[in-house]
Structure 1
Amino acid sequence: MRNLDITTLRSFIAVADSGGVTRAAGFLHLTQSAVSMQIKRLEETLGVELLDRSGRTIALTAAGEQLLVYARRMVGLNDEVVSRLTDQAFEGEIILGVPHDIVYPVIPRVLKRFNALYPRMRVQLIASYTRRLQEHFARGECDLILTTEPTTGTEAETLTELPLCWVGAPGGAAWRRRPLRLAFGRQCMFRPKVIAALDQAGLPWELAVETDSDRTIEATVSADLAVHVVLEGTEPPQLERIDHGGALPELPAHFINLYGAEAAASKPVEDLVDLLRDGFRPAGAGRMRAVG
């Protein structure tokens, strides 16, 4: 196994960019002989000639042209790693607020990618209800928040629009019973729209659970004692979307809005914003792009 040395690759790039060993030596603050020795060592490692020395000026051979592409990528990646791990500017904390019901599946992937980019940065995740997160943000207690709202926010960036869907226990029958038993959080943004849709459809309903605990809601619904409503694609694994065949009213869409993006004060915050945008990008609109 032969290993390439970043220092020799850096010298090779300098020779290629400057058109000669002498100029490259001045750029690298090395002697001409030191640069020449590094190029020779690189050629011996690879077993190919990288420079065409037959003319008055030095040119790259075909192998040298091919190596140059890889060398730029390797040196660039080396410099990025060193910068991320040692630059004091990339230390600190970002406070991110996210509604309970949209933490999964996107946020864990976003946090994992962000940690790879900025291992010395800490993201403090606050999971709460939209109204509480808006209060935190208004008091300056969060750098960024996501919300689930029936409209686009006047001071927010809308990341996506998702329809609400009915969920219940796998193979459950609670959705067939009347009055329809509902499980909701006290501050759930979906609740008013769901109740309005039921009233408009003339379906009787009652609150089986009104709580501040998502776990209480999930336990009640998974026991087939009530039904719940979530944004499509955010169903908990122990619940399933109800195929009601029109027995329950269709529900309106809600928006996932991002607050704080315009005031991003640092490169890490900007990159976290980009990861959130990519994470909630509608299906078919493209894959997560590289940031950094």
Structure 2
Amino acid sequence: MITDLLDLDLLRTFVLAVDMDSFARAAEQVSRSQSAVSLQMQRLEEITGHKLFLKQGRGWRLTASGELLLGYARQLLEINNKAVEALTATHIAGRVKLGLLADFSESGLPLVLARFASVHPQVEIEVTIDRQAVMLQKLQAGKLDVITTFGTHTPEDAIAIGRLPLRWIGGNNKTIALQEPLPLLLFESPCLFRAAGLEALDKVKRSWRPALTSASVAGMWAAAQAGLGITIRTEMGLPAGCIPLSATAGLPPLSEVHIFMLTYQKSPSPAVKRLIDILRETLTEQVNEIRKRTKKRHGL
């Protein structure tokens, strides 16, 4: 029976001993004697009320209780490290240049900025919202530190966030998907979503016409809400009045798209690194929520 709170100092030594498979090497890492580390492990067994180690030849192995504790110990230490990093990094100052697609600007940006400003009030954030091709050019020129973007795959040097299915999206006009030719709301070429949608229609030999061509996501959302046509996006940043069309609409299936971040520098500054961490956490939460909604909608 556990008789006390778990001591992070003991857990850190415990994890080191397991990872290094040696009390002696763990002792070197924590600047203690081997006997002191042995006493720490005995104390940990007393606190947990379980035997954590079993002798095996000249060495030892973890018991089932030891294996169980190891997983939780790693999680507790990770949370502790994140808390310490966040609290001690409030002195970070400087400027961060962030590039976002419009899909992320309304749903994710306010939360990201609020989270970042709460721990790094001295950092100035410059936000650019533009098309993917433009942001890539600015990133390569060093005019942006980090951008969020979509792709058919996640590059090796990118920071992965997740994947989302592409969707046919319209307004409340339920018959628009039946029109021939199909009225489409399209981004100007080149555009990943445009290419994916037209390829899917070509495969089933479905005729289409451009009802609107725009360089603005907001313009396409407005046209969809007005019932002018159907567009192709993910559900990220989907506004009120726009809905993903179900399979019963008779439209061909679409592929998934990868969401990731690209950075200008391989080793970004502390301010940029912290923004990347918050971006990844916030957008991953949103991606997972969209995927949950999609599964629920399809009864999966």
In the superposition, the TM-score normalised over structure 2's length comes to: 0.62
Instruction: Give distance in 1, aligned partners of 2:186 and 2:224.
Output: 10
| Alpha-carbon distance, 1:165 to partner | 0.7
Counterpart secondary structure, 2:166 = strand
Counterpart secondary structure, 2:167 = strand
Contact 1:185/1:210 (8 A) holds in 2: yes
Contact 2:87/2:119 (8 A) holds in 1: no
Instruction: Give distance in 2, aligned partners of 1:254 and 1:129.
Output: 16
1:214 aligns with 2:210: no
1:148 aligns with 2:168: no
User: Which of structures 1 and 2 has the bigger CA Rg?
Assistant: 1
1:130 aligned residue: 132
Instruction: Give distance in 2, aligned partners of 1:264 and 1:229.
Output: 35
Instruction: Give distance in 2, aligned partners of 1:251 and 1:120.
Output: 44
- The number of equivalent residue pairs is 204
2:43 aligned residue: none
Runs of 4+ in 1 over 4 A off after TM superposition: none
| Alpha-carbon distance, 1:244 to partner | 4.1
Instruction: Give distance in 1, aligned partners of 2:241 and 2:172.
Output: 8
| Alpha-carbon distance, 1:171 to partner | 4.5
| Alpha-carbon distance, 1:261 to partner | 7.8
1:234 aligned residue: 237
1:265 aligned residue: 268
Percent same amino acid at aligned positions?
24
1:98 aligned residue: 100
Instruction: Give distance in 2, aligned partners of 1:96 and 1:238.
Output: 29
Letter in 2 for 1:197: A
The one of 247, 251, 272 aligned to 2:250:
247
Instruction: Give distance in 2, aligned partners of 1:224 and 1:126.
Output: 30
Map residues 1-292 of structure 1 onto 2, 5 A cutoff. 80=87, 84=90, 87=91, 90-186=92-188, 187-245=190-248, 247-260=250-263, 263-281=266-284, 282-283=287-288
Instruction: Give distance in 2, aligned partners of 1:115 and 1:162.
Output: 28
Structure 2: gaps (5+ residues): 1-79, 290-300
Counterpart secondary structure, 2:100 = strand
Structure 1 residues 92, 229: closer, same or farther in 2, change over 3 A?
same
RMSD: 2.4
Counterpart secondary structure, 1:245 = helix
Contact 1:173/1:224 (8 A) holds in 2: no
Letter in 2 for 1:113: R
Counterpart secondary structure, 1:203 = coil
Letter in 1 for 2:288: A
Instruction: Give distance in 1, aligned partners of 2:164 and 2:204.
Output: 22
In the superposition, the TM-score normalised over structure 1's length comes to: 0.64
Counterpart secondary structure, 2:248 = coil
Structure 1: gaps (5+ residues): 1-72, 285-292
